[in-house]
Amino acid sequence: MDIFQALADPSRRSIVGQLRHNDELSISAMCQTHTMSRQALTKHLNKLIAAGIITKRKQGKQSLHSLNPESLKPLAEWLQPYAALWDVRLKNLQNFIEESE
């Protein structure tokens, strides 16, 4: 699964957002803030792991998950031209407003 397919699902984007604010989380910790079953959460985590977006490591009986920010580089590179386009448009709007005043 590629990064775009993995992030197409709102539940998986929510998981990524949660991991962005935490170093590592167990499935139990993630279940406390998501309204899905442990089984559904595990299914989503496995897709994110397959895409390389998150990593998993074992600590005793627990599996700890963390965000792999490096994996998001292709997404950022793909979005960059669109961000630049919006920067130009917003700058033009700002100039227009300032000239109108």
Predicted pLDDT at 42? 95
What is the CATH code for 3-100? 1.10.10.10
Predicted pLDDT at 1? 77
Give CA–CA dist 100/65, Å, rounded: 52
Q: What percent of the chain has pLDDT over 90?
A: 86
Q: Average pLDDT over the chain, rounded to whole?
A: 93
Q: Where are the domains of the chain?
A: 3-100
Helix (H) or strand (E) holding 96: helix 73-100
60-90 pLDDT, tens digit per residue, is 999 999 999 999 998 999 999 999 999 999 9
